[in-house]
Structure 1
């Protein structure tokens, strides 16, 4: 196991990777967003005297960290080939609280800096590290509160007798058949195959059933009511 390197001094941290990301096809085609991010990062690099290399992930979501340019950039930083990862905004790097927290740990363990220009975050400083961790913790706290409120709201609706789930437009006998076959041990794929072969239309009038279509029926109001009865 590689031993974590000591944090690099400010004097040595002059090799920066500027990371850009856009998510929509329109932004990729027009360059909107990329140019603005590049300008902001380049201006900061000029002021800091960084040797800047800019990389970009175009047309990719920020929900996952598994993006080619970002993955390569992080590997270069971990190897010591660069010292700073700089982005115009936090959401260009990550939209996930868990991923962001892991990124902070990774930067600390490998000794490189994370700089987020929209928030004034620079993890090489105590203030910057504090802000970064506060952001991660606050977002996680809010996420848990939302989850708790959602669960409590659903529980209250169930207690009041409110039927949850989307109503089915399938004939009752088809829903009953799906429930019966599934409870009898038939697989989702098997049920979908037999309904398709027999020409039974889906709730939306489609000719082909899929395992996901069958699952939606099983999770719907009518199937739930049948099982409850």
Structure 2
């Protein structure tokens, strides 16, 4: 079995490195008896993770049996991103291992944990949505104009339904 080992830093300013993560990942892969390729993300912004995009395309192409990360937050920057991408990998029959959380989503227990995480992520999204609506209503009641200022982008009606899913799929295809 060949696995992709993924490590990333939170910033690209040179203050952080992936040394601790790579050491843990390599030790884990050796204990599991895996062949592996190591992917270290050096440029990590909210929208730009070229190493991860390359690794995902190779996972989709069937080059690997799965992926291992040190912690879930090292793989994804949001619970939505995590859930959509992990679900896609699992649907393709690939394994996903998070070492520190001791999660292996290819087992029955790991799948249970994944569904629990999914429920909490959905709960978190709903809370954020409720707080946003409450904040907008409060601002409106105070007479403030809410929303983005009118501009050139407003000349054409935008498609808004299914935005999160379309964005996640777009990211997965990069």
Q: Same fold (TM over 0.5)?
A: yes
Q: Is the CA contact (8 Å cut-off) linking 2:80 and 2:121 kept in structure 1?
A: no
Q: Which residue of 2 aligns with 1:87?
A: 69
Map residues 109-128 of structure 1 onto 2, 5 A cutoff.
109-128=91-110
Match of 2:82 among 100, 107, 115: 100
TM-score normalised by structure 2 residue count: 0.73
Shift of 1:95: 1.7
Q: Which residue of 2 aligns with 1:155?
A: 137
Shift of 1:165: 6.6
The DSSP-based 3-state class of the residue aligned with 2:4 is strand
Structure with bigger RCO (C-alpha 8 Å, 6+ apart): 2
What is the number of residues matched between the two proteins? 150
Larger radius of gyration: 1
Query: Take 2:56 and 2:127, find their aligned partners in 1: how far apart are those partners?
Result: 32
Match of 1:56 among 23, 34, 40: 40
Q: Is the CA contact (8 Å cut-off) linking 2:4 and 2:39 kept in structure 1?
A: yes
Question: Is the counterpart of residue 47 in structure 1 residue 36 in structure 2?
Answer: no
Map residues 148-227 of structure 1 onto 2, 5 A cutoff.
148-156=130-138, 158-159=140-141, 162-164=142-144, 188=151
Unaligned runs of 5+ in 2: 154-174
After superposition, the CA RMSD in angstroms is 2.5
Shift of 1:19: 0.5
Question: Is the counterpart of residue 134 in structure 1 residue 116 in structure 2?
Answer: yes
Unaligned runs of 5+ in 1: 1-13, 167-181, 183-187, 190-210, 212-229
Q: Which residue of 2 aligns with 1:38?
A: 22
Q: Is the CA contact (8 Å cut-off) linking 2:43 and 2:50 kept in structure 1?
A: no
The DSSP-based 3-state class of the residue aligned with 1:25 is coil
